């Protein structure tokens, strides 16, 4: 869903129009990219990182190094919660400064760096799907929220890639898809991806997750992440923490699937993660039509924090991280950081 | 929202059109009443019982005893979960048979019986509000789901009447209103009632309840009920069980407010309560517009079961019932049954 076109612009599949319409939008400027990210035309923690990286490369080619530098800063703060966005922008900036100092061709170096980020995401998604599928019991029913498929990462996906891989191995009975209010990424995007892949699934309201657990319809919960703190606390789509509490209450394993670019070594715990609060109209209106009385006050946090203590395991490209998560994260994040500094793939 | 008009028809405030429009519909036949109940033009466990009672009285007057008898049977099974509907229909039938045997004027006896049911609901709601308000701590923030106000009972309401009474006593800081997917009774109806009453409130997605609890924004949860089993298990709007689990996890009291007509002595526990599953389109469409891809399978249970073990107390017109709930329920339900058989108010 993120493509570079021949004329040097960036094309994004507009996720707001799915599943009804496959509409692409073109990005030519940093402002257009920031607007597309803020409006969720492109969404999903890894995907917005990749879109930002390609935008920075594009600006370097079309407008020069100085503009690319300021684009990177503007893009990094387009949305606050997902760390992949800041991570990708910082990585592009580091490459930019290194090349600029060396007198290298910055534009082509940045294009390679953006490609590297996208390719690494592909490899990470594949590794996550492989490791995660082992966690799905034979004949398992998997409950998930939001969209964590190809649309969310630009590659295969994270939690949803696990479901697809488990399906390919014949061990998945069904995916229960939470609709994911307010913007219905589950109802609109995850069902669309599962239908295209031929994976059996049912859609339900977020509030029905509890009774699904109580009735024995759920064998495991898989969710993505927007940021994972050093201690293993997880920021993800609003409703994720509800699932973690429900999973614990019902003795169901709760798994988080995310690439290392979602791990934030600079964030000690969930309290330090900024939670984006989005416009009231996302809740009080639907397709421009008011649902609630005019002037109704709304509280619309887009994410919540799941404490590490409720996470059964985190699945990343280095495998399955088990509690104590702080220790497991320190091990893989440290080695990822070292290999990145050495110029290798993260 | 339930009125008898001069020409002998029944007028119902159409709850589907709120909050945008105060539209009334007229009911002249049993079929129209059944359709209005099924389509949720009138909803709320006590309110549908009262609407059914008035319909039976209306049919007795317009079409005769035989038609009233068959109307009572048809209405009793219009929806399966709320017990008040069957309770009101059985009570009207009992009065009908008693009068028919005595040669009394059945139509006027049934009109009095329907009035009695409505008046008892008023008294019950008042008593619930008074007893429940004591449970709200000073400066308390109350979380609720669905609509349990005047629209739901035809009188003052149950859980929402507690909030209104606590507000009148100056001890309520805020009501957090869950939007209540799929039909948005919280967003459409509860906000409308709270705004008219001048009670501070905020609207949030159902999936945000968990993070509201974790952030310390909730001091107590109050919900209504569609049926309470002998052991204290509670059937109520889908999402209620989620709140009960969340309340337990966060050490927040979880209260159920319901009149004795919602208690079902014939139901031993929650497993025996039939849970209505409603049309997939309630979830997959909004205002006639598709949300999910065509042919997406949907699971749409309209209610869930909260086990008695998660209920801190039930507030009814006899006061606050504390655990062990089975014992407390046996005490009040037994006395209610006796006073009803003796011809007194339940």
CA angle centred on B150, ends B144 and B156, rounded to 5°: 95
Mean pLDDT computed over A125-138 = 98
Q: Which pLDDT value is given to residue A5?
A: 82
In 3D, which of A236, A228, A231, A314 has the Cα closest to residue A263?
A228
pLDDT at A340 over 80: no
Scan for tokens 């993070």, then name that residue: B211
- Picking from B292, B305, B306 by the largest number of A CB atoms within 10 A of its own CB, the best residue to mutate is B292
pLDDT at A337 over 80: no
SS3 (DSSP) at A38: helix
In 3D, which of B233, B255, B252 has the Cα closest to residue B132?
B255
Contact A299, A281 (CB under 8 A): no
A239: alpha, beta or left? (left if phi > 0; alpha if psi -120 to 50): left
Cβ contact, residue pair A283, B203, below 8 Å: yes
The Cα A346–Cα A335 span in angstroms is 9
pLDDT band for position A269 (cuts 50, 70, 90): very high
B92 Cβ contact partners less than 8 Å away, ≥ 6 residues apart: B52, B53, B56, B57, B68, B72, B110, B113, B114
User: Which residue(s) pair with B298 in the sheet?
Assistant: A203
Q: Which of A191, A209, A286 sits opposite B292 (nearest CB)?
A: A191
Q: Which pLDDT value is given to residue B345?
A: 40
Sheet arrangement for strand B254-257: B201-204, B172-178, B140-144, B220-223, B254-257, B313-316, B319-321
Q: Please identify, in words, the CATH class of the domain defined by B126-341.
A: alpha beta
Cβ contact, residue pair A241, B210, below 8 Å: yes
- Residue A325's alpha-carbon distances to A225, A246, A254, B229, in angstroms, are 15, 20, 13, 43
- Residue B334's alpha-carbon distances to B261, B326, B329, in angstroms, are 12, 12, 8
Identify all chain A residues contacting B242, using CB atoms and an 8 Å cutoff: 207, 209-211, 242, 246
Phi, psi of B197 (to 5 degrees): -90, -5
Percent of chain A with pLDDT over 70: 97
Contact B78, B85 (CB under 8 A): yes
Determine contact: A17 vs chain B, CB below 8 A. no
Residue B31: is the preceding peptide bond cis (ω within 30°)? no
pLDDT band for position A37 (cuts 50, 70, 90): very high
Q: Which pLDDT value is given to residue A278?
A: 97
The Cα B120–Cα B336 span in angstroms is 12
Architecture of domain A2-125: Up-down Bundle (1.20)
Q: Which pLDDT value is given to residue B341?
A: 57
Cβ contact, residue pair A206, B304, below 8 Å: no
Each residue's pLDDT, cut to its tens digit, for chain B (346 residues) gives 789 887 889 999 999 999 999 999 999 999 999 999 999 999 999 999 999 999 999 999 999 999 999 999 999 999 999 999 999 999 999 999 999 888 789 999 999 999 999 999 999 999 999 999 999 999 999 999 999 999 999 899 999 999 999 999 999 999 999 999 999 999 999 999 999 999 999 999 999 999 999 999 999 999 999 999 999 999 999 999 999 999 999 999 999 999 999 999 999 999 999 999 999 999 999 888 999 999 999 999 999 999 999 999 999 999 999 999 999 999 998 766 665 555 444 3
Q: Which pLDDT value is given to residue B101?
A: 82
In 3D, which of B172, B180, B239 has the Cα closest to residue B40?
B180
The Cα B190–Cα B258 span in angstroms is 17
User: Which residue(s) pair with A227 in the sheet?
Assistant: A235
Our CA-based measurement puts residue A20 at a distance from the nearest CA of chain B, in whole angstroms, of: 7
Cβ contact, residue pair B210, A245, below 8 Å: yes
Q: Which residue has the higher pLDDT, B1 or A16?
A: A16
Q: Which pLDDT value is given to residue A151?
A: 96
Determine contact: B180 vs chain A, CB below 8 A. yes
In 3D, which of B30, B298, B315, B110 has the Cα closest to residue A176?
B298
Our CA-based measurement puts residue A22 at a distance from the nearest CA of chain B, in whole angstroms, of: 12
In 3D, which of B98, B106, B7, B99 has the Cα closest to residue B56?
B106
The Cα B200–Cα B164 span in angstroms is 10
Cβ contact, residue pair B293, A206, below 8 Å: no
E strands, chain B, in order: 2-4, 10-13, 24-27, 140-144, 172-178, 201-204, 220-223, 227-228, 234-237, 254-257, 285-286, 289-290, 303-306, 313-316, 319-321
Mean pLDDT computed over A57-85 = 96
Contact A192, A19 (CB under 8 A): yes
Identify all chain A residues contacting B269, using CB atoms and an 8 Å cutoff: none
Q: Give the dihedral sign, CA B62/B64/B67/B69.
A: positive
- Residue B151's alpha-carbon distances to B51, B165, B236, in angstroms, are 12, 16, 16
Determine contact: B21 vs chain A, CB below 8 A. no
Report the mean per-residue pLDDT for chain A: 95
Q: Which pLDDT value is given to residue A118?
A: 96
The Cα A15–Cα B130 span in angstroms is 50
- Residue B150's alpha-carbon distances to B41, B79, B159, B171, B197, in angstroms, are 14, 20, 10, 21, 11
Contact B46, B259 (CB under 8 A): yes
Pairing of strands B254-257, B313-316: parallel
Contact B187, A282 (CB under 8 A): no
B100 Cβ contact partners less than 8 Å away, ≥ 6 residues apart: B65, B106
Mean pLDDT computed over A256-280 = 97
pLDDT at A341 over 60: no
Q: Which pLDDT value is given to residue A86?
A: 96
Searching chain B, which residue's CA lies closest to the CA of residue A291? B188
In 3D, which of A85, A1, A66, A67 has the Cα closest to residue A28?
A67
Our CA-based measurement puts residue A43 at a distance from the nearest CA of chain B, in whole angstroms, of: 18
Cβ contact, residue pair A210, B19, below 8 Å: no
Q: Which residue has the higher pLDDT, A286 or B303?
A: B303
Identify all chain A residues contacting B287, using CB atoms and an 8 Å cutoff: 286-287, 289
Distance of CA B277 to the CA centre of its chain: 17
User: Which residue(s) pair with B314 in the sheet?
Assistant: B256, B321
Q: Which pLDDT value is given to residue A342?
A: 52
Contact A164, A156 (CB under 8 A): yes
DSSP line for B305-326: EE-GGG-SEEEETTEEE-SSHH
pLDDT at A306 over 80: yes
Contact A60, A113 (CB under 8 A): no
pLDDT band for position A338 (cuts 50, 70, 90): low
- Residue A265's alpha-carbon distances to A268, A336, A342, B2, B281, in angstroms, are 7, 11, 18, 60, 44
Q: Please identify, in words, the CATH class of the domain defined by B2-123.
A: mainly alpha
Architecture of domain A135-341: 3-Layer(aba) Sandwich (3.40)
pLDDT at A250 over 80: yes
pLDDT at A344 over 50: no
Searching chain B, which residue's CA lies closest to the CA of residue A196? B293
Domain ranges of chain A: 2-125, 135-341
């Amino acid at each position: 869903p993120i493509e570079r076109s021949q004329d040097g612009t960036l094309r994004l599949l507009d996720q707001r129009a799915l599943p009804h319409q496959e509409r692409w939008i073109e990005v030519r400027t940093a402002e257009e990219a920031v607007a597309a990210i803020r409006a969720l035309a492109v969404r999903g923690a890894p995907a917005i990182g990749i879109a930002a990286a390609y935008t920075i490369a594009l600006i370097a080619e079309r407008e020069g190094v100085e503009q690319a530098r300021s684009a990177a800063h503007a893009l990094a703060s387009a949305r606050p919660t997902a760390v992949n966005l800041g991570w990708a922008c910082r990585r592009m900036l580091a490459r930019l400064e290194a090349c600029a100092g060396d007198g290298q061709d910055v534009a082509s170096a940045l294009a390679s760096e953006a490609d590297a980020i996208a390719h690494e995401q592909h490899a990470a998604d594949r590794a996550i799907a492989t490791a995660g599928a082992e966690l799905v019991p034979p004949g398992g029913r998997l409950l998930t929220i939001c969209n964590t498929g190809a649309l969310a990462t630009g590659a295969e996906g994270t939690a949803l890639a696990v479901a697809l891989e488990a399906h390919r191995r014949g061990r998945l009975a069904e995916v229960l898809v939470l609709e994911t209010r307010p913007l219905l990424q589950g109802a609109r995007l995850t069902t669309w991806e599962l239908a295209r892949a031929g994976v059996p699934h049912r859609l339900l309201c977020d509030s029905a997750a509890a009774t699904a657990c109580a009735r024995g319809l759920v064998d495991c919960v898989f969710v993505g992440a927007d940021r994972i703190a050093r201690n293993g606390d997880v920021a993800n789509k609003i409703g994720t923490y509800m699932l973690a509490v429900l999973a614990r209450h019902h003795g169901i394993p709760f798994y988080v699937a995310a690439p290392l670019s979602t791990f934030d070594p600079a964030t000690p715990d969930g309290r330090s993660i900024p939670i984006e609060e989005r416009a009231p109209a996302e809740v009080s209106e639907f397709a421009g039509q008011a649902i609630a009385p005019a002037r109704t006050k709304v509280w619309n946090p887009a994410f919540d924090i799941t404490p590490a203590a409720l996470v059964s395991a985190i699945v990343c490209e280095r495998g399955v991280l088990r509690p104590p998560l702080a220790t497991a994260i320190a091990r893989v994040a440290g080695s990822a950081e070292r290999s990145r500094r050495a110029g290798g793939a993260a």
